Amino acid sequence: MGPIAVFDSGVGGLSVLRELVAQMPSEHFLYFGDSANAPYGTRPTAEIRSLTLAHAERLFDRGAKALVVACNTATSAAIGALRARWPDRVIIGIEPALKLAVSRHPGGCIGVLATEATLREEKFAALLQRCAENCHILKCPCPELVEFVERGELTGPALERCLAARLAPVLAAGPDALVLGCTHFPFAAGAIRRVVGPDVELLDGSAGTARETKRRLLDAGLLVQQGEGSVTIENSLDSPAILALSRQLLHAPIFPGRESFDK
């Protein structure tokens, strides 16, 4: 049985891969990050879709039994096209954890920190309409944050200045929660916490995506539940530096001190 392919525009999807490995330790994973073309969030929708479909085709050609699109931007732009091209495959996307935020803060103020592409797509508009009633939702694009994470710059004054500028309108509204709507962003959770303070809950969708992947594989009779799993990491840059950063991020602590409500 082939591996579970995990795809992202760069290194961000490693935050999802961590959850996948935690929930399915006997599985074999093939992670591919397209850092050569990152960030996706500032690209036109058609280009994001074309890149995502091309990488998915290559991963399926290599024997992947399932595909996890561990990128909010690529999911927003291409998940429908992926499922239309491979209707019999297990294909799972990710979306901002807005439903979780609304359930935990009914009637509250919720910021959504994401890429420009994720926030402009119809998929996000539908998510808003479906689950954000009675809440005040503030969209906050932050394309620069992807580039900070791609460089491995997860802390420091420059990052915090960028975050403070982007988050200023959200913080002025007194948010109850901040949804990290890009899989790169959890790796900067420490810097985000310093900017937003201790009382704003930080949420992401990686654990829910891992649960859905496990459920879909189990239903399809494709879940491996015994034996030792493995992780293979590849990147379109194919440089020692990006592969070393990927291995570092796979094991780096994120969301320190957060309760495990979404496990």
Q: How many CA atoms lie within 13 A of 36 on its CB side?
A: 9
Contacts of 126 (CB under 8 A, 6+ apart): none
Range name among 9-18, 81-90, 129-138 with the lowest pLDDT average: 129-138
Could you tell me which residues are annotated as the binding site?
8-9, 40-41, 72-73, 183-184
* 135, 142, 162, 182: the active-site residue: 182
**Whether residue 263 has pLDDT greater than 80:** no
Residue type, 251: H
| Across 119-147, average pLDDT | 93
- 27-43: per-residue pLDDT in tens? 999 999 999 999 999 99
Which residues sit in the known binding site for substrate?
Answer: 8-9, 40-41, 72-73, 183-184
Q: Who wins on pLDDT, 132 or 147?
A: 147
pLDDT cut 70: percent of the chain above it: 97
Q: Mind listing the pLDDT tens digit for each residue in 219-262?
A: 999 999 999 999 999 999 989 999 999 999 998 877 654 433 33
Q: Is the confidence at residue 134, as pLDDT, over 90?
A: no
Starting at the edge strand found earlier in the chain, the sheet holding 177-180 runs 136-141, 109-114, 177-180, 201-203
> Does the active-site annotation cover 71?
yes
Question: Is 131 part of the annotated catalytic residue set?
Answer: no
Residue ranges and CATH numbers for the domains of the chain are 4-93+206-251 (3.40.50.1860), 98-203 (3.40.50.1860)
Tens digits of residue pLDDT in 197-212: 999 999 999 999 999 9
Residue 255: its pLDDT value, please? 62
- Start-to-end Cα distance in the chain: 27
Rama region for 244: left / alpha / beta (φ>0; ψ in -120 to 50; rest): alpha
Position 253 scores a pLDDT of 74
Residue 254 confidence (pLDDT):
74
Tens-place pLDDT, residues 75-132: 999 999 999 999 999 999 999 999 999 999 999 999 999 999 999 999 999 999 988 7
